[in-house]
Amino acid sequence: MTSKSFQSPDPRRVYVETYGCQMNLADSELVGGILKSGGYTFTGEMAEADVVLLNTCAIRENAEQRIRGRLGLINARKRSNPHLVVGILGCMAERLRDQFLEEERLVDIIVGPDEYRRLPELLESAFEGERGIAVRLSRVETYDDIEPLRTEGISAWLSVMRGCDKFCTFCVVPFTRGRERSRSQEGILREVRNLAEGGYREVTLLGQNVNSYRDGECDFAALIKAVAAVDRSIRVRFTTSHPQDMSDALIEAIATTENICKYIHLPVQSGSDRILSLMNRTYNTAGYLRLVEKIRRAIPGVSLSTDIISGFPTETDEDHAATMALMREVQYDGAYTFLYSARERTKAWEMGDDIPEEVKSARVTEIVAMQRLIALELNRPLVGTVLPVLVEGPSKKSDAAYMGRTDTNKTVVFPHQHEAVGDTLQIHIERVNSATLFGRPLVAA
Ligand code: SAH
Ligand code: SF4
Ligand code: F3S
């Protein structure tokens, strides 16, 4: 315990709400670690909190709108408790900066993703009535020495790099998270050893371009092999991979290392070469398909997923048809689909936003329907097979059913198995739909 918490017998309670990607979830755990060392405690109830922090996402307009809606609600709470300190963290903090202080006077502190070490100091000032803003981006901050405060579970997120230098023309991330930088290999391995000792069964290495990780001689292929060697009984996953950085060495590492999961999220964004070029994605469809073929040859049974944006400026029906054709060819196990949202400061912002929302939605609907059929076709042959499943906990729909995932990241639902959380069970698959496999554990002989 630090001297600060010693001085203050009644530590202040913090409530954190997180939006956006896994990197942001991992950042909230970092923030938790920093505030814990600063003597703060945590609550899952906003009503009990002295500090409310929203760790925000700016990736699309609707993400920001949701957060603004939440702020309205918190505003009402602040009226009844003027001592409540409200903070905006994360990508929106970076994007909107002082706009929050001026327009939305209910916000006390605004802290961007590279300034979380200053949180305790900024909060102390906020309790004295001083509002604060810290939104400098850093070329070096990786929080390598900070121990994240993880919530219970068997699966841990671990950020290995921050920022992004790819500048896809639609994307705000290079502006909200700054330049790409990697954590030290030693720091990462130290954390993985701690996780292994703490009983974690799965680690997901995170970065907006996780496979462009580099620390001196150590590239991502070397890193993930070293992580997997820490404890062979721990599953290792990673996300997100840019196709450009999907090296042969990495493909080989996945193929030859048993505890690296056979699942790659490999966003393509569009199946039209004209659109890919306007997006500055640095590959064309032929190159992407060659990569997929190489991956499938090296890693039999690998599962692939993608992100697709519909309605990028100037996208025609032919471009959309090309995306559908590419998806049919690749046969993804899963796809996340997004309506294009124009973001200030990006290159694409200057291209206008000429595709009507109804057209964007119609295209996404078509893609989703087709993808569902593809996933169902891919899952169907799994009926009757027995798959190893890492048990995670109660399924979202009911406490009576439990869920876990296969090595290939497919969700499996089976009868209650509380004792088995963290174990790998052999599950006999009885039925499937496009998103989930259902079965029951084989009874040991
Ligand atoms: N670094 C990851 C992507 C992170 S953002 C990668 O390059 O793969 C997650 C997804 O959000 C992107 O893959 C993209 O499909 C989507 N996205 C990003 N900016 C967007 C925008 N302006 N409008 C719509 N979707 C967007
Ligand atoms: Fe955004 Fe492209 Fe970087 Fe992904 S690679 S975070 S889409 S700029
Ligand atoms: Fe959103 Fe920032 Fe992640 S914009 S998707 S929280 S990097």
Q: The CATH number of the domain where 88 resides is what?
A: 3.40.50.12160
**One domain, residues 290 and 372:** yes
**Smallest-distance ligand from the CA of 343:** 1
How far does the centroid of ligand 1 lie from the alpha carbon of residue 338, in Å?
8
d(CA 244, CA 280): 11
Contacts of 253 (CB under 8 A, 6+ apart): 221, 224, 225, 260
**One domain, residues 389 and 362:** no
Nearest residue by C-alpha to atom 3 in ligand 3: 21
**One domain, residues 310 and 403:** no
Please state the atom number of ligand 1 nearest to the C-alpha of residue 267. 8
Evaluate whether residue 375 is within a structural domain.
Answer: yes
pLDDT value of residue 4: 42
Evaluate whether residue 206 is within a structural domain.
Answer: yes
- Tokens representing residue 53 in the block: 């922090």
pLDDT value of residue 5: 42
CATH of the domain at 160: 3.80.30.20
**Smallest-distance ligand from the CA of 64:** 3
Of the three residues 134, 166, 195, the one that is the final residue of a domain is 134
pLDDT value of residue 397: 82
How far does the centroid of ligand 3 lie from the alpha carbon of residue 312, in Å?
19
pLDDT value of residue 444: 61
**One domain, residues 375 and 411:** no
Q: How many structural domains comprise the chain?
A: 3
Ligand 2 lining (C-beta closer than 6 Å)? 164, 166-168, 171, 173-174, 208-209, 242
How far does the centroid of ligand 1 lie from the alpha carbon of residue 356, in Å?
19
**Smallest-distance ligand from the CA of 268:** 1
**One domain, residues 221 and 123:** no
- Ligand 1 pocket residue status of 353, Cβ below 6 Å: no
- C-alpha distances out from residue 295 to 114, 252, 333, 336, Å: 35, 9, 14, 20
**One domain, residues 358 and 226:** yes
**One domain, residues 301 and 429:** no
How far does the centroid of ligand 1 lie from the alpha carbon of residue 171, in Å?
6
CATH of the domain at 425: 2.40.50.140
Nearest residue by C-alpha to atom 15 in ligand 1: 307
d(CA 51, CA 85): 5
**One domain, residues 394 and 375:** no
Q: What is the pTM of this model?
A: 0.95
Residue type, 171: C
Of the three residues 380, 403, 418, the one that is the final residue of a domain is 380
pLDDT value of residue 77: 84
How far does the centroid of ligand 3 lie from the alpha carbon of residue 9, in Å?
36
**One domain, residues 78 and 197:** no
User: Domain of 180?
Assistant: 155-380
Nearest residue by C-alpha to atom 5 in ligand 2: 166
How far does the centroid of ligand 3 lie from the alpha carbon of residue 58, in Å?
6
Nearest residue by C-alpha to atom 8 in ligand 1: 267
**One domain, residues 81 and 123:** yes
**One domain, residues 373 and 405:** no
Q: Which residue among 29, 65, 162, 173 is best mutated to probe the pocket of ligand 3, counting the most ligand atoms within 8 A of its Cβ?
A: 173
Evaluate whether residue 140 is within a structural domain.
Answer: no
pLDDT along the chain (445 residues), means of 10: 47 96 97 96 94 97 93 86 93 84 79 97 95 93 96 92 97 97 98 96 97 97 98 97 97 98 98 98 98 98 98 98 98 98 96 98 98 98 97 86 96 90 96 96 74
Displacement of CA 24 from its chain's centroid (Å)? 7
Evaluate whether residue 38 is within a structural domain.
Answer: yes
**One domain, residues 222 and 314:** yes
Contacts of 324 (CB under 8 A, 6+ apart): 271, 366, 367, 370
Evaluate whether residue 146 is within a structural domain.
Answer: no
Q: Which residue among 65, 91, 346 is best mutated to probe the pocket of ligand 3, counting the most ligand atoms within 8 A of its Cβ?
A: 91
Evaluate whether residue 8 is within a structural domain.
Answer: no
Nearest residue by C-alpha to atom 9 in ligand 1: 307
Please state the atom number of ligand 2 nearest to the C-alpha of residue 171. 1
Query: Exposure string (b/e) for 358-396, b if CB count within 10 Å is 16 or more?
Result: ebbeebbebbeeebeebbeebbeebeeeebebbbbbebe
Of the three residues 380, 406, 431, the one that is the final residue of a domain is 380
- Tokens representing residue 123 in the block: 């909060």
